[in-house]
Amino acid sequence: MTTTASRTDTVRDLIDDRLGRFLDQRGGELDFLGPDAAPVRDLMNAQIRGGGKRLRPLFVYWGHRLSADGRDEDGEAVLAAACAVELVHTAALILDDIMDEAPVRRGRPSAHHALAARHERAGWRGDPARFGESAAVLLGLLAFTWADAALLGTGPRLGPALEVFTRLRLEAIGGQYLDLACAARGTADVRQAAHLSLYKTGKYTVERPLHLGHAVAGGGPGVRRLLSAYAAPLGEAFQLRDDVLGVFGDPARTGKPGGLDLLQGKATSLVARTRLLAGPRAAALLDHVRDAEGVAAARELVVSCGALDAVERRIAELADRSAAVLLDGLDLPPDAVDALVELCGSVTRRTS
């Protein structure tokens, strides 16, 4: 008997295989770099193939399956779209690590740190850190460019797919800018934090990938509305889980330093709720987190004021609401419904 988990694992394997084939085809285009081609290829392979849950490509795939309504669709087209989204995500992670000054990603040196180390080992001129950041920006742009090349594989529905894909990238970039601006200003209330997370994460992670799969399938407007109704609460829940992991996540699982959101003064919904519930003492503490002792004190405040419990309840409510949209739907492909309901759990119960 085929389970939802086994179907999802099979789809993830298909996506990984398609990504691998794409990288093998495109890697030769870098030969003009001469002796620098191999290190760039190796680092790009490590960034793209080296782990990750493939959540966004999975939403592309199952959004396509739900929208195809039993029609015999081109499997390569949806896998091409899934790869395009994963390549955009790779670009976003590389650039996000630079902006966050993050030394590690998925338990390994982040791209800019790996490139800085290469500069230092080679004994090149100039500042290794500056070289690492500059070169990593270029690798992010390379992943962004390859994403367009991957999307070409969507074939006759490239036009509608590109429209969704452009919106996905626009919202992700805008959301990241809001993240930087709110952190720089130092204040964001619960409403502002929710608006930021909607565009930085919610639409980018869930809704637009689903819409991309829908566009490749040529789905109707009713299914697109249903996908949005499913995605809205789940996208919020995804970001709230990210907020919790950014404060309480285990570095061994997240691959990032513990309490990083607190150290960087991120304007997350969890932090905004803590400020609301704890009052003036929250600002006095949260605005001055500089070390492990400050992280520990801030974590204690987040728990004691009830903010963590409130966010955990909200996550559970949102996941149930998202699943109910599909379970109440009529005449939907049962395998796609089962997979998307299962993804509600994967998104909200994850530990990394």
In three-state secondary structure terms, 104 is: strand
* Residue the block writes with tokens 């590389």: 94
| Residue 165: per-residue pLDDT | 98
| Residue 322: per-residue pLDDT | 96
| Residue 70: per-residue pLDDT | 63
Q: What is the mean pLDDT of residues 298-311?
A: 97
| Residue 195: per-residue pLDDT | 87
What is the CA angle 19-23-29, rounded to 5? 155
For residue 28, pLDDT over 90 is answered with: yes
Give start and end residues of each alpha helix (H) in the chain.
4-27, 37-49, 55-68, 75-100, 111-122, 128-151, 158-185, 190-197, 208-217, 221-248, 251-254, 260-263, 269-278, 280-286, 292-304, 307-327, 334-348
Closest residue by Cα to residue 68 from 219, 194, 187, 268: 219
Q: Give Cα 137 to chain centroid, integer Å.
A: 18
Rg (CA), the chain: 21
Residues 238 and 205: beta-carbon distance below 8 Å: yes
* Mean model confidence pLDDT for the chain: 92
Range of weakest confidence among 168-172, 181-185, 247-251, 336-340:
181-185
Q: How far apart are CA 25 and CA 6, in angstroms?
A: 29
In three-state secondary structure terms, 250 is: coil
Q: What is the mean pLDDT of residues 107-128?
A: 95
**Per-residue confidence band for 255, with pLDDT thresholds at 50, 70 and 90:** confident
The percentage of residues in the chain with a pLDDT greater than 90, rounded to a whole number, is 76
The percentage of residues in the chain with a pLDDT greater than 70, rounded to a whole number, is 97
Residues 6+ apart with CB under 8 A from 45: 23, 27
pLDDT tens for each residue of 47-87: 999 878 999 999 999 999 999 976 666 689 999 999 999 99
